[in-house]
Amino acid sequence: MTRISPSIIDVYTTSSIVEDQSPVAVTAAETIVTFSSRRKSGVIYNDGPNAVHVAFNTTVTTNNFIIPSKWAMQFVFPVTTLHFICNAAQTATLYILGER
């Protein structure tokens, strides 16, 4: 059993079901997170001081969906890659879980 940090993502599971991609540092340059296999759902928690933009399986821009600082987002559709970006001169730290 593995405990995923930070405590807001209080999940206990086996690694064969959930893939942990944490922590992920995001800047004003596109950051791509690739799972080892397609995931049917997951959770993204933004533990950073700034909002982050996210796109699923495609290039991200600052016009994409926003995850504010200290907020979590759940997705329930198949993805292999997640794309993130912050606004200019900003950063964020993400905690990401993908479920098979």
Name the pLDDT band for 2 (thresholds 50, 70, 90).
Answer: very low
In the beta sheet, which residues pair with residue 44? 73, 96
Q: Does the reported pTM lie above 0.85?
A: no
As its CATH architecture, domain 2-99 has: Sandwich (2.60)
Whole-angstrom distance, CA of residue 33 vs CA of residue 48: 17
Average pLDDT, the chain: 86
Query: In this structure, is the dihedral angle defined by the CA atoms of residues 91, 87, 38 and 79, taken in order, positive or negative?
Result: positive
For the four alpha carbons of 18, 92, 49 and 41, in that order, the dihedral sign comes to: negative
Strands 12-13 and 41-46, bridge-based pairing:
unpaired
How far is residue 75's CA from residue 77's CA, in Å, rounded to a whole number? Answer: 6
Domain boundaries, the chain: 2-99
In tens, the pLDDT along 52-100 reads: 999 999 999 999 999 999 999 999 989 999 999 999 999 999 999 998 8
